[in-house]
């Protein structure tokens, strides 16, 4: 069972979790963890869009501000799980496709190119948000999730975590003298020190991220000012030095992001279709992340109707992204789900406090940029643990399955293999040729095929879901082999009395928006 403040997910009784120092520190830790993705995505996209350090700092501020708003919406009105809603790597590929569109190539002014590209991305995201809102709020996705069994959930959830392996040690290796100490120290603080020391046992495990980041960040600062990277190659300096992000100089002291700050969105039908497909992939990946978060928050298995409601609110989050201009869509932050497992704290209130930090530091640009300038290999070291936790959560559902069944072994093995092998082929082909295996004159059509099959959890989940629901499904023995009977009482919101405690809406809104 996870350690929680008061009780898992539930709104604490009066006085139980008055915003105390422990909750604030835990919330700040969630804020620090989500900064990695918040910085990495704009740092990769904005220069290609034509923007400089000023534009990059403003986009990061905007993404951070919107992430705080979306996290509050999700925890109050969506799934009600303690999940952080932040930038998604899934949306990077179609955004790059928009950047490379022919109508922007002849723009000579870099700033004007940035603005035009941003507006095109905003238009595509506005259309893409509708697919999640329709599938989520209509209940259509609820009907799909009801056919998900523990067996078919294993590849999906596992590769939501394990599928991000390229962001782990490869990122550590970009500055191994900083990334590797972070990885080793975090393992030591979270796994060994609580078992060796006879005092403060919960402290090291619960706040290990803050301890290790402080130590390694200070170490990186000392290396920087001592001239250790004075003659190093430019790439090494960017990844290792603490003064090469350009965020602090580019960020204003105080700035409140506002809708349509880059101008009115522009629309292109092809780009909208490609972004809609990407939105569907993010929907599938978020479903796996929701299930993992419910498990690490010590809640009951999240009912399909609540997953569907959370997906609908994620669609609203993407719509908000498009209004503010983040150049990216929103999904559940996988690293923050891993942090739930590391800290053993599944409090919704803690995540809501972290959302407050996101909004606060987004407005106070210089202070937010200071934390956002933490060298990225430090985050990569943490990812090695957080993504591993999420992947292991998927494997934990094997306890409900019959592993002696050849049907089970085939579905597991084949879906895992295809989930890794097919995206590897698509990614290798793209790296060599500069474009995906599907390469026609219509860039939007290429993205609609290449992007889905480059997603490991999407491919694995699709294969497992199809096989599990088409091979000997009417056999009672098979039903037990796939673990379906274990989740029967969670198929409907009303079948388990604890659903009301974990997932009911605040302010008595369940009367007007009942879950089924």
Query: pLDDT tens for residues 382-429?
Result: 999 999 999 999 999 999 999 999 999 999 999 999 999 999 999 999
User: 485 pLDDT exceeds 60?
Assistant: yes
Using only C-alpha atoms, the chain has a radius of gyration, in whole angstroms, of 22
Ramachandran angles phi, psi of 331, nearest 5°:
-150, 180
User: 17 pLDDT exceeds 50?
Assistant: no
Give me the residue spans of the domains in the chain.
Answer: 25-401
What is the residue-wise DSSP string for 147-181? T--HHHHHHHHHHHHHTTGGGSHHHHGGGHHHHHH
User: 498 pLDDT exceeds 90?
Assistant: no
Mean pLDDT value across residues 156-164 = 96
User: In angstroms, rounded to a whole number, what is the distance separating the alpha carbons of residues 394 and 67?
Assistant: 26
User: In angstroms, rounded to a whole number, what is the distance separating the alpha carbons of residues 98 and 100?
Assistant: 5
Of the candidates 77, 119, 126, 84, the one whose C-alpha atom is nearest the C-alpha of residue 98 is: 119
Mean pLDDT value across residues 436-456 = 92
User: 12 pLDDT exceeds 50?
Assistant: no
Contact assessment for residue 70 and residue 317, using Cβ atoms and an 8 Å cutoff: yes
pLDDT at 466: 97
pLDDT at 202: 80
User: 9 pLDDT exceeds 80?
Assistant: no
Beta strand pairing call for 85-87 and 330-332: antiparallel
Reduced to 3 states (helix: H, G, I; strand: E, B; else coil), residue 271 is helix
pLDDT at 15: 35
pLDDT at 58: 94
User: 144 pLDDT exceeds 60?
Assistant: yes
Q: What percent of the chain has pLDDT over 70?
A: 96
Q: What percent of the chain has pLDDT over 90?
A: 75
pLDDT at 5: 45
306 pLDDT tier (thresholds 50, 70, 90): very high
Contact assessment for residue 2 and residue 296, using Cβ atoms and an 8 Å cutoff: yes
Mean pLDDT in the chain? 91
User: 515 pLDDT exceeds 70?
Assistant: yes
pLDDT tens profile 105-130: 888 899 999 999 999 999 999 999 99
Q: Which residues pair with 86 in a beta bridge?
A: 331
pLDDT at 311: 97
Reduced to 3 states (helix: H, G, I; strand: E, B; else coil), residue 40 is helix
What is the Cβ-side half-sphere exposure of residue 158, based on CA atoms within 13 angstroms? 23
94 pLDDT tier (thresholds 50, 70, 90): very high
pLDDT tens profile 319-365: 999 999 999 999 999 999 999 999 999 999 999 999 999 999 999 98
User: In angstroms, rounded to a whole number, what is the distance separating the alpha carbons of residues 95 and 110?
Assistant: 17
443 pLDDT tier (thresholds 50, 70, 90): confident
Contact assessment for residue 61 and residue 324, using Cβ atoms and an 8 Å cutoff: no
Lowest mean pLDDT among 2-11, 125-134, 135-144, 235-244: 2-11
Most confident of 26-35, 199-208, 245-254: 26-35
């Amino acid at each position: 069972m996870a350690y929680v403040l008061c009780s898992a997910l539930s709104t604490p009784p009066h006085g139980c979790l008055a915003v105390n120092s422990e909750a604030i520190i835990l919330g700040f830790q969630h804020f620090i963890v989500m900064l990695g993705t918040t910085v990495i995505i704009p740092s990769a996209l904005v220069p290609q869009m034509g923007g400089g350090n000023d534009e990059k700092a403003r986009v990061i501020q905007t993404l951070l501000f919107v992430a705080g708003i979306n996290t509050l919406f999700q925890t109050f009105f969506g799934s009600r799980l303690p999940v952080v809603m932040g930038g998604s790597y899934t949306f990077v590929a179609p955004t790059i496709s928009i950047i490379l569109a022919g109508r922007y190539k002849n723009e000579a002014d870099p700033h004007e190119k940035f603005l035009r590209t941003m507006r095109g991305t905003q238009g595509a995201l506005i259309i893409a948000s509708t697919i999640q809102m329709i599938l989520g709020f209509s209940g259509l996705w609820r009907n799909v999730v009801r056919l998900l069994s523990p067996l078919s959930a294993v590849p999906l959830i596992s590769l939501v975590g394990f599928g991000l392996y390229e962001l782990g040690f490869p990122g550590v290796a970009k500055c191994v003298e900083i990334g590797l100490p972070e990885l080793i120290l975090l393992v030591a603080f979270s796994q060994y020190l609580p078992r060796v020391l006879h005092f403060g046992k919960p402290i090291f495990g619960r706040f290990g991220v803050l301890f290790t980041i402080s130590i390694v960040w200070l170490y990186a600062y000392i290396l920087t000012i001592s001239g250790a990277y004075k003659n190093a190659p430019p790439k090494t300096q960017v990844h290792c030095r603490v003064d090469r992000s350009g965020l602090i100089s580019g960020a204003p002291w105080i700035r409140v992001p506002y809708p349509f700050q880059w101008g009115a969105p522009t629309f292109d039908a092809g780009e909208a279709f490609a972004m809609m497909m990407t939105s569907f992939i993010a929907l599938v990946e978020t479903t796996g992340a929701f299930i993992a978060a419910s498990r690490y928050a010590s809640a009951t298995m999240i009912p399909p109707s609540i997953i569907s409601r959370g997906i609908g609110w994620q669609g609203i989050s993407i719509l908000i992204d498009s209004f503010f201009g983040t150049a990216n869509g929103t999904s559940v932050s996988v690293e923050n789900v891993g942090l739930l497992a590391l800290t053993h704290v599944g409090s919704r209130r803690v995540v809501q406090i972290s959302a407050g930090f996101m909004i606060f530091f987004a407005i106070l640009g210089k202070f937010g940029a200071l934390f956002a300038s933490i060298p990225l290999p430090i985050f990569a070291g943490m990812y090695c643990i957080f993504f591993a936790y999420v992947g292991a959560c998927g494997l934990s559902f094997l306890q409900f399955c019959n592993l002696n069944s050849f049907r089970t072994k085939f579905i597991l093995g084949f879906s895992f293999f295809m989930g890794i092998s097919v995206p590897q082929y698509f990614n290798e082909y793209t790296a060599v040729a500069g474009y995906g295996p599907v390469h026609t004159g219509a860039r939007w059509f290429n993205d609609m095929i290449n992007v889905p099959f480059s997603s490991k959890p999407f491919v694995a989940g699709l294969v497992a879901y199809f096989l599990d629901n088409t091979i000997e499904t009417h056999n009672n023995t098979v039903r037990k082999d796939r673990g379906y009977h274990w989740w029967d009482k969670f198929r409907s919101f009303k079948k388990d009395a604890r659903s009301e405690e974990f997932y009911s809406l605040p302010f008595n809104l369940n009367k007007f928006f009942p879950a089924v």
